[in-house]
Structure 1
Amino acid sequence: MTGLHDGLSPTLMREVRARQPFLFKWCVFALALVYVTSYKRVDVRQRALETISLRNEAKMHRIRKRAAIETDSQITKSELLRLQPYEDLNIIKTEQSSQGFLVEKLQETYKNIPVFDGALTVEVSKDGILTGGATGTLIQDIERDLPDVNTRLSKDMALDIAVKAEVDENRRSDIGDEKIELWIYPWEDSKAKLVYYVQYLIETEPAKRPTMIIDAQSGEILERFSALENICSSDSVKGFGGNVKQGKIEYGKYPYCIQPTQKCLLENEYVRVVDMNESENETSTTQETISYQCSTGLNDTDKGAFSPSLDAFFYGTIVAKMYEEWIVLRVHFGKDVDNAMWNGKNVSFGDGDYMFYPLVSLDIVGHEIGHGVVDQNSNLFYMRQSGGINEAFADILGESAVAFFSESNVDWNIGKEVTRQMPFLRTFENPELDGSIAHVDNYTAEQVPHRLSGPFRLAFYNIVAKHNVSFRNAFRAFDRTNKLYWHHMSTYQQAGCDVIKAAYDLGLNVGIFQKSFSAIGVTDCFTLENIPYLTFNRTSSGIKVSEDSHPIFKFKTPLWTANVSVLTTSTEGDVEIRVSDQSDFSCNQSSTIVSNKKLTFEPDGGVDIYIELYAATNNTLNVDLLVSYECNESWKPNMTEYSFDTMLSYCVYHFECGLPMPEGFC
């Protein structure tokens, strides 16, 4: 059995018992009563805050006993999150924040099997010390449902069940890219189940990518959906692209310059274009790259489009430059295919029919590559709210690619250049115009992901168009969230709050992101009040400061503070320091801006102080930050309000200021 204090060291357990004997007994009794329930979801941020609070209680107890202070900050992940037996955390990805922390994305496992949606992130200092910052979800008490993890079904049996459910028995030879993984799955009936995650791809008509969650004991299909994400529901080279609606684009003249290899193959370090010849065969990805005579251009007209191949090559390169990944783009996919799609490993663009011109435009290319970026990072499931977030991210990447090429081309619409019957496929400013929802309260499980993408499209629009955050910075926040914070079944609430946290990581204006998500119904998220406190007289290093990145920190002034000094050090340029007792640095609050590297001021005691760092340069500065304070050696607590806390403060004051401990008092 586990309880409120699980994961603390034995020493801390004894001290917390001594400090709170009745609370400890009550907690054990309460947990004994609820032991009969099944698995539970644990909010990681709340769990971490509880653990830190308990450790602080233990620290105060040691000071009161005049005991030596151990290195409390050397807490393990298991202790911080109070992991249970058979639980573990595997690092999936690590990236640095502007505050100098490493942000680690972790996958929970139970008996070495990954736990579905057991995904979380923690902050780690440069010294490998956990800051206490954490977010995400743990699935605990799994052993109540799954004391052992032996399966009745094999992987082959699970695949057979999926194929039969899809009525694909006669298409066995067309099945490829099979993915069969064993997971722990917290099912809706509040029981954790051992399941197989099954997915496969069929590219011949009709193309499909079914995905199922299958009970590894009974063979029951618990969830099923389609993961074939689509767009609907130096030497200059000559050539023409575009279509009769958007007009002819002459490649080879600025800004539509393309640089394939010297033989005029439609291939470069970023993308490769192959001709599907109206087939849907998987082997087309291994065909030769499209080539043509540089001097004459490419004769590639099709259904009102002047050259889908050149369009795909140019737009794919634009998007790929945002990621520096090798991408295979496939054109002329299928006969009269009114769609573009991501199938799990490459992007295909149909030639259109009565609804569309060939589906090759910059925002559509970006959209489909966006699904690939999701697949390779958060793997948001293409269903319910997570499916809507998946679609929104793809649209956001598509519109950001347009801005990356030329912000003057931004129209906040998806697919405007390729639709024949409609003005556009989807729009950002008013999602209801394309049939999407615009607020999270309008969500229903029956809606398809494209229609559920509206709220996050609108949030992104608000951030950029209404609050003047650059496309680059807004997209960086969403992209970082996809890499580090989102998980399979992220909800609107979780995913929106995660974007706000990612904005903080990047040193962006958190308030703008909060307002933009509040407008779509995502509230009560991470705020600057939630960030970890700095430790006095300990240098924080690896901080990234620039014109775009303004990292924020906070510390609490002791009641006996005389003055505080904030020192920044950088060999690359001067850093501006701004302080306030308000997290939003509102104008009516006291603030100071200096252009030198040290700021000294006299704050009130016992208040939170926020520090924001600036640099008036496009270059990123590497900065060290040190906060220290001087003690007011004449300070005394208000003894007329005598309490345990008053006595404890008086003892801590003597301890931290290096003063003799008063006899008979501490």
Structure 2
Amino acid sequence: MQATLKKGAVWVALAFGTTGVQAASRVDIDTIAPKYSAALAKSSATTAEKLGLGNSDLKALYSQTLPNGKVLTRYQQLYRGIPVLNSNVVEHRDNSKAAPSLTGAIIQGLASDVPTATPQLSSSAILNLAKSKVPKAKFEEEQVQLYVHLDEKSKSARLVYLVSFFAPNGNQPSRPFFLMDANTGEVVKQWDGLARVNATGPGGNSKTGQYEFGVNYGPLDVSSNCAMDNGTIKTVDQNNGTANVSTAFQFNCPRNTYRAVNGAFAPMNDAHFFGNATVKMYRDWFGVGPIQQQLVMRVHYGQNYEGAGWTGGTTIFGDGLNQFYPLVSADVIAHEVSHGFTEQNSKLLYFAHSGGMNEAFSDMAGEALEYYLKGTNDFKSGAAITKTTDALRYMYNPPLDGNSKDNAANVSPFDNVHYSSGVYNKAFYLLATSPGWNTRKAFEVMFDANRLYWTELSTFNEGACGVEQAASNRGYNVSQVSTAFNAVGVNCDNYKWLAEQLYLAYTGRPGDPGGLKYWTDNMAAAGVPKTLVEFAAAYSSNPSVKSIVDGIALSTEAQAFLPSDPAGSHYQLIGAVFQNEFGRGIDSSNNGIWNHRINSGESTRQSAPMKIMADALASPYAERKNDALTVGKKVGVSLRFTEHVNEPAEISSYITPVGLSKGRNLLKTVTSATQVQAFIPTIDATIADIVANH
């Protein structure tokens, strides 16, 4: 396959050079950097100038210095002084004299879509309009922020307000979020963003058993008069009400036993100690607190309230009833506090992929606090406070709770974020238990990604790129990060994954190292879309994509692998593609559909294997989820295979007819149930067999 595209690749590069930006669009910095190579080489150029932006269009937010001396600075893109939603620039400087590198994404071409930066509606008017849509008598934690937003559906930019507030309502509190057009008041998006779930004294509940602060854990850090306010954290007694209490709870020194409820011995103590411990963990490990303001813990919230949450400025913890003991365990406390960290850093919005990542990061923080306190953790969320189940969520096997997903292929845009969080939770577990890793190291790279690389609308794949970059910055094993994410159907949007998908579609085997590098280099030079769904959609309109696909499809290897058909018929091709990609025979409906698409010109024989795979990946239907999952597992195995073929004897043995055949046979055994990491010994055994018997 490698040799067939050399002529086309040159043409691709030339075609790419004629491409221009016509309207607002989100672009990766690494794809536009060559255009500004002269500015990048000038040490005197500002970061904004290196990206072709005005100096007023980029604002430094904060810097982070890693133990190895590398300094990372995050910037916010501005348009006429207004922050641009879902943009992000990070500058990396090390101790060498080399020019700093840049990564992230910016929005280009805003002027054509947003001619004025003055909204027709004021912030107070938009807030009142949002409130009118929520019939509640009282609102707290009101927040309104003007942004420039590139709408993914319309592909145009506009001024929007991001509005949120906390709405207490007895035992049904909510935190409505609205993305609203700043000129018309149109609701672009709406969702509920309430992120749920040296004194002494007792703690714990009937499930954990009673423990003592000052004996089993450290003492309670309170003021000299035993008020639960040490400057870092303030713990208040809601006394089963919902009105915001501002005075710290105070007890008679030196021991607090107030008050036993619902099987717990003193929830105020648990909340205060674990909240303070969360702040200490962030400061000890990263040099910053989880939130910018004092942490406020509102305990005994509501009547028998079976929940906990971050309200946008404080945390609330109910006493539970039938499902939960009071929700003040270490992992639950760190979970809710860390929603505050996310809100003040990446600002991941609480829906779709970004919402799943938001929720998962908080679960990770819960495990990190357990590890910080005890040197070990159980990878179970809420295990200490559940009454009817062993735990609330299981990071090592998310589907155990009956709802959570453990692979991105099974996630739909409308899934509850607590369930879609299983994808990143499983990746975190796999990474933390990888050789050379532990829970702290895994949380370090997630923390860095959240603080530096994730944006409001990050996807699972984009988020993985941030974690890989964070691992690279710290000198950790990036390949192990990739392996953990690949195992749950997530990949950094790089061209390796796309190239392996094309190898599978057209040759039924994993790529070889030389061929994979060749194709990924050409894809990068052409700047083609990085996901197969977008890549396939561009086949008819993007000459670069068409040249690559046709070059692969017409290669000698692909022509030999995929069957031919009589004129006007494509049934053998379609059936072979379904068997190769999904490991199943084709149903009559799909057979007819794809035969018609090829005959009508909607597709071609060259593009059909790719488009059939893309159709499965993009399908919202449950019956296609298993097909998408199978593709993800096959590609995950392919990536590991190609990485492990790294010795000269292995490479030369693999690219023989016998070696390629054994590679195909390996992928035939991969199903939707295959666990990629557990499959690695089989991969290594296959490579050894290829070397011995090629």
TM-score per shorter chain, which class? 0.5 to 0.7
Match of 1:267 in 2: 229
Deviation at 1:27, TM superposition (A): 8.0
Q: Kindly indicate whether the alpha-carbon contact (under 8 Å) linking 1:76 and 1:130 is maintained by their aligned counterparts in 2.
A: no
Aligned pairs for 1:480-499 within 5 A: 480-499=448-467
Question: Which sits farther off after the overlay, 297-306 or 86-95?
Answer: 86-95
Match of 1:228 in 2: 194
Match of 2:282 in 1: 323
Match of 2:32 in 1: 47
Q: Kindly indicate whether the alpha-carbon contact (under 8 Å) linking 1:315 and 1:365 is maintained by their aligned counterparts in 2.
A: yes
CA separation in 2, counterparts of 1:122 and 1:586? Answer: 34
Q: For 1:591-642, what per-residue CA distance to the aligned partner results, in whole angstroms no more than 9, with x for missing partners?
A: xxxxxxxxxxxxxxxxxxxxxxxxxxxxxxxxxxxxxxxxxxxxxxxxxxxx
CA separation in 2, counterparts of 1:50 and 1:42? Answer: 13
Match of 1:300 in 2: 259
SS of aligned partner of 1:329? strand
Match of 2:270 in 1: 311
Q: For 1:311-338, what per-residue CA distance to the aligned partner results, in whole angstroms no more than 9, with x for missing partners?
A: 1122112212113444221210111100
Deviation at 1:162, TM superposition (A): 0.7
- Change beyond 3 A, Cα 1:381–1:128: farther
CA separation in 2, counterparts of 1:150 and 1:249? Answer: 58
Deviation at 1:175, TM superposition (A): 1.9
| Corresponding residue to 1:176 among 140, 149, 154 | 140
- Matched to 2:382, the amino acid is G
CA separation in 1, counterparts of 2:410 and 2:13? Answer: 44
- Change beyond 3 A, Cα 1:265–1:218: closer
| Corresponding residue to 1:209 among 151, 164, 175 | 175
Aligned pairs for 1:141-290 within 5 A: 141-168=109-136, 171=137, 174-187=138-151, 188-205=153-170, 206-231=172-197, 237-282=199-244, 284=245, 286-290=246-250
CA separation in 2, counterparts of 1:523 and 1:50? Answer: 27
Q: For 1:3-23, what per-residue CA distance to the aligned partner results, in whole angstroms no more than 9, with x for missing partners?
A: xxxxxxxxxxxxxxxxxxx99
CA separation in 2, counterparts of 1:266 and 1:104? Answer: 36
- Matched to 1:288, the amino acid is A
Deviation at 1:49, TM superposition (A): 4.7
Q: Kindly indicate whether the alpha-carbon contact (under 8 Å) linking 2:64 and 2:73 is maintained by their aligned counterparts in 1.
A: yes
- 1:477 equivalenced with 2:442 (yes/no): no
Match of 1:614 in 2: none
Q: Kindly indicate whether the alpha-carbon contact (under 8 Å) linking 1:501 and 1:526 is maintained by their aligned counterparts in 2.
A: no
CA separation in 1, counterparts of 2:425 and 2:275? Answer: 22
- Change beyond 3 A, Cα 1:120–1:293: same
- 1:421 equivalenced with 2:388 (yes/no): yes
- Matched to 1:81, the amino acid is L
SS of aligned partner of 1:184? strand
- Matched to 1:418, the amino acid is I
Match of 1:631 in 2: none
CA separation in 1, counterparts of 2:452 and 2:48? Answer: 20
CA separation in 2, counterparts of 1:587 and 1:253? Answer: 54
Match of 2:359 in 1: 391
Match of 1:556 in 2: none
- Change beyond 3 A, Cα 1:140–1:300: same
SS of aligned partner of 1:116? coil
- 1:432 equivalenced with 2:399 (yes/no): yes
Match of 1:291 in 2: 251
Deviation at 1:272, TM superposition (A): 2.1
Deviation at 1:373, TM superposition (A): 1.0
Deviation at 1:489, TM superposition (A): 0.7
CA separation in 1, counterparts of 2:104 and 2:155? Answer: 19
Deviation at 1:40, TM superposition (A): 1.1
| Corresponding residue to 1:332 among 300, 308, 325 | 300
CA separation in 2, counterparts of 1:392 and 1:225? Answer: 18
Match of 1:108 in 2: 77
- Matched to 2:332, the amino acid is I
Deviation at 1:96, TM superposition (A): 2.3
CA separation in 2, counterparts of 1:23 and 1:72? Answer: 30
Q: Kindly indicate whether the alpha-carbon contact (under 8 Å) linking 2:39 and 2:45 is maintained by their aligned counterparts in 1.
A: no
CA separation in 1, counterparts of 2:439 and 2:313? Answer: 27
- Matched to 1:162, the amino acid is A
- Change beyond 3 A, Cα 1:164–1:299: closer
- Change beyond 3 A, Cα 1:398–1:72: same
Match of 1:622 in 2: none
SS of aligned partner of 1:247? coil
Match of 1:80 in 2: 50
Deviation at 1:127, TM superposition (A): 9.0
- Change beyond 3 A, Cα 1:290–1:586: farther
Q: For 1:327-356, what per-residue CA distance to the aligned partner results, in whole angstroms no more than 9, with x for missing partners?
A: 221210111100011101111110001111
Match of 1:522 in 2: 490
How many residues align? The count is 481
User: Percent same amino acid at aligned positions?
Assistant: 29
Give ranges in structure 2 of 5+ residues lacking alignment: 1-10, 284-288, 497-642, 649-694
Match of 1:412 in 2: 379
CA separation in 1, counterparts of 2:188 and 2:492? Answer: 32
Match of 2:63 in 1: 94
Q: Kindly indicate whether the alpha-carbon contact (under 8 Å) linking 2:433 and 2:439 is maintained by their aligned counterparts in 1.
A: no
Q: For 1:221-257, what per-residue CA distance to the aligned partner results, in whole angstroms no more than 9, with x for missing partners?
A: 00111121111xxx6x442211111111123314454
Match of 1:60 in 2: none
CA separation in 2, counterparts of 1:26 and 1:301? Answer: 72
- Change beyond 3 A, Cα 1:280–1:26: same
CA separation in 2, counterparts of 1:499 and 1:100? Answer: 19
Q: Kindly indicate whether the alpha-carbon contact (under 8 Å) linking 1:103 and 1:121 is maintained by their aligned counterparts in 2.
A: yes
Q: Kindly indicate whether the alpha-carbon contact (under 8 Å) linking 2:234 and 2:248 is maintained by their aligned counterparts in 1.
A: no
Question: Which sits farther off after the overlay, 392-401 or 517-526?
Answer: 517-526
Give ranges in structure 1 of 5+ residues lacking alignment: 1-21, 57-70, 529-583, 590-666
Q: For 1:15-57, what per-residue CA distance to the aligned partner results, in whole angstroms no more than 9, with x for missing partners?
A: xxxxxxx9999889753xx73xx311111122225543x789x
The alignment's TM-score, normalised by the length of structure 1, stands at: 0.67
- 1:513 equivalenced with 2:473 (yes/no): no
Match of 1:59 in 2: none
SS of aligned partner of 1:417? coil
Deviation at 1:310, TM superposition (A): 1.1
Q: Kindly indicate whether the alpha-carbon contact (under 8 Å) linking 1:123 and 1:130 is maintained by their aligned counterparts in 2.
A: no
CA separation in 1, counterparts of 2:212 and 2:110? Answer: 61
Q: Kindly indicate whether the alpha-carbon contact (under 8 Å) linking 1:239 and 1:251 is maintained by their aligned counterparts in 2.
A: yes
Q: Kindly indicate whether the alpha-carbon contact (under 8 Å) linking 2:349 and 2:457 is maintained by their aligned counterparts in 1.
A: yes
| CA-based RMSD | 3.0
Deviation at 1:263, TM superposition (A): 3.4
CA separation in 1, counterparts of 2:28 and 2:271? Answer: 44
CA separation in 1, counterparts of 2:174 and 2:106? Answer: 33
Match of 2:568 in 1: none
- 1:503 equivalenced with 2:471 (yes/no): yes
Q: Kindly indicate whether the alpha-carbon contact (under 8 Å) linking 2:404 and 2:418 is maintained by their aligned counterparts in 1.
A: yes
